[in-house]
Structure 1
């Protein structure tokens, strides 16, 4: 058994400081570490850090999707489970163009 959490691991990390978001990521990662099954995370629009904070913090470590990647790895990936090939894509993006994933890209 496994769980895919489809984004919004946090609430409004896009509006807070790096340190506040780190505190929330610490809490979340601590909670899921107690699960007795595999957890696969997907970054959501509320998981990107500081992009709507009241001042520019874009040069700080952990900004945008960097903190998510520090905690959980790539924002898109694939994995095999039994006879299934699962693809976890980026659900939060500023890119208006569709993303095309080739077989070799997963």
Structure 2
């Protein structure tokens, strides 16, 4: 599966635009770091990486359901909520390329 933030893939032709797809993931619990900002930032960094990977996996699963072989125009949004939850939303267009 080809994943790209661009709207085209060099050397390939988009034959069919299938669907806009997304993958969203959110941390399961609020960070409880006490008063150490260093620990807090380290935990947020780890959460973002973990949650981002989960969201990409969901995006891939959704792309496979549409029988796509690529996703173009990927946009990644990362949000830290006021409750210290990390949310990552990834959106793109599932396509067939040749």
Would the TM-score normalized by the shorter structure come out above 0.5? no
Q: Answer with 1 or 2: which has the greater Rg.
A: 2
Greater share of strand:
2
Q: TM-score scaled to structure 1, two decimals?
A: 0.30
Higher RCO, 1 or 2 (CA under 8 Å, sep at least 6)?
A: 2
Q: TM-score scaled to structure 2, two decimals?
A: 0.32
